[in-house]
């Protein structure tokens, strides 16, 4: 293992967080010290290697001596070959390592990276929603609505954290009231299966609005008009979304035994502002019948750090043995 004091003996590290729309890059110059952060549009580059090379060329002296890198990517990662499901890029990890002239290149799923970031978040990088007390050294849960619904967590194992690979976002949706029953029936008719991700995502916001109002509206406009109080159906849509998120997050917390806390990531919830804090999220998180006292003791946190995946890939990279040419 690379120790905290020795892990930069081979110079700074290249970190990246790659989604279907943007690729975010940073140089880690010291433990959890990120510089030269840049966001590049994926559509502007023929490959991930081209985007990374452009970034390294632009940051100049910051890139000098880089031998080690880690990339979080919004895609399943299984083996050397990676083909993005929400973008055209595909690559071999080994070939990309050679292309960028690196000794070490790790490629991990973005939610694995986000889960590994959780122990490193400072109080200023998260917002508590509701009560509860986190227990140190216990399992921590993670859920994140965005383009889809990510679910993960970290478990303490022999003094370190082990991330969970999960497809929990596709678990079946369980309605909590008559409105949600109507939404579930609409999902059954359209898809044959009502998963949590069908609701807890950008398309899910649009689906909820369509069921509640009988009209079409984009997720961005729903959020904008709900925040402005311009459309009662938009406000109801956001409330419903947050209630379902609370219910699913509570189920994840129960399943994992996440007494170390339950975290909310992803791109949607931070945009909801005061609507999320005032929503039924926490009440539905706790509403598990006989297990309500158990859920009441688990704190829930909204991740507010702009680039949390960098913390996660940094932690994962720090656990790798150093390879030298």
CATH number at residue 78: 3.30.420.40
The 10 Å CB-count burial string (b at 16+, else e) for 76-89 is ebeeeebebeebeb
Residue 266 CB coordination number (10 Å): 24
For residue 99, what are the domain limits? 13-115+308-318
Q: How confident is the model at residue 8 (pLDDT cuts 50, 70, 90)?
A: low
Q: How confident is the model at residue 322 (pLDDT cuts 50, 70, 90)?
A: low
Q: Is residue 133 a part of any domain in this protein? A: yes
pLDDT (mean) for 106-125: 93
Q: How confident is the model at residue 82 (pLDDT cuts 50, 70, 90)?
A: very high
pLDDT (mean) for 188-206: 93
270 vs 321, more confident: 270
Asked if the model's pLDDT at residue 81 lies above 80, the reply is yes
Residues 6+ apart with CB under 8 A from 43: 21
Q: Is residue 4 a part of any domain in this protein? A: no
Asked if the model's pLDDT at residue 4 lies above 60, the reply is no
Same domain, 171 and 287: yes
Same domain, 130 and 249: yes
Number of domains in the chain: 2
pLDDT (mean) for 127-151: 94
pLDDT (mean) for 94-112: 94
Q: How confident is the model at residue 10 (pLDDT cuts 50, 70, 90)?
A: confident
What is the predicted pLDDT for the residue at 1?
Answer: 34
pLDDT (mean) for 252-257: 97
User: If you compute the radius of gyration of the chain from its CA atoms, what whole number of angstroms results?
Assistant: 20
Same domain, 104 and 176: no
Same domain, 105 and 88: yes
Whether the model pTM is above 0.75 = yes
Q: Is residue 324 a part of any domain in this protein? A: no
Q: How confident is the model at residue 262 (pLDDT cuts 50, 70, 90)?
A: very high
Same domain, 81 and 170: no
Asked if the model's pLDDT at residue 114 lies above 60, the reply is yes
Same domain, 139 and 243: yes
Same domain, 146 and 269: yes
Residues β-bridged to residue 34: 28
Q: How confident is the model at residue 321 (pLDDT cuts 50, 70, 90)?
A: low
HSE value, Cβ hemisphere, 13 Å, CA-based, for 199: 34
Q: How confident is the model at residue 74 (pLDDT cuts 50, 70, 90)?
A: confident
């Amino acid at each position: 293992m690379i120790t905290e004091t020795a892990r930069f003996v081979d110079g700074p590290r290249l970190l990246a967080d790659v989604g279907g729309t943007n690729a975010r890059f940073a140089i880690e110059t010291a433990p959890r010290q990120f510089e030269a952060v840049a966001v590049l549009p994926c559509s502007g580059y023929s490959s991930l290697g081209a985007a990374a090379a452009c970034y390294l060329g632009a940051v100049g002296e910051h890139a000098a001596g880089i031998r080690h890198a880690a990339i979080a990517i919004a895609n399943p990662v299984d083996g050397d070959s990676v083909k993005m499901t929400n973008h055209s890029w595909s690559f071999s990890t080994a070939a990309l390592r050679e292309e960028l002239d690196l000794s070490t290149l790790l490629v991990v799923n973005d939610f694995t990276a986000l889960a590994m970031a959780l122990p490193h978040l400072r109080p200023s990088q998260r917002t508590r929603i509701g009560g509860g007390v986190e227990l140190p050294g216990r399992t921590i849960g993670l859920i994140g609505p965005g383009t889809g619904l990510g679910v993960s967590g970290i478990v303490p194992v022999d003094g370190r954290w082990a991330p969970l690979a999960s497809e929990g976002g596709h678990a079946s949706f369980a309605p909590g009231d008559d409105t949600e029953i109507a939404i579930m029936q609409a999902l059954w008719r359209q898809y044959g299966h009502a998963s949590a991700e069908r609701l807890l995502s950008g398309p899910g916001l649009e689906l909820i609005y369509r069921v509640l109002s009988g009209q079409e509206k984009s997720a961005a406009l729903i959020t904008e008009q709900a925040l402005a109080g311009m459309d009662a159906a938009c406000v109801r849509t956001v409330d419903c979304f947050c209630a379902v998120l609370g219910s699913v997050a509570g189920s994840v917390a129960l399943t994992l035994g996440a007494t170390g806390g339950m975290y909310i990531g992803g791109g949607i919830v931070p945009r909801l502002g005061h609507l999320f804090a005032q929503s039924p999220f926490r009440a539905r998180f706790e509403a598990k019948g006989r297990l309500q006292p158990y859920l009441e003791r688990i704190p829930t946190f909204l991740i507010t750090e702009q680039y949390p995946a960098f913390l996660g890939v940094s932690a994962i990279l720090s656990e790798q043995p150093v390879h030298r040419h």
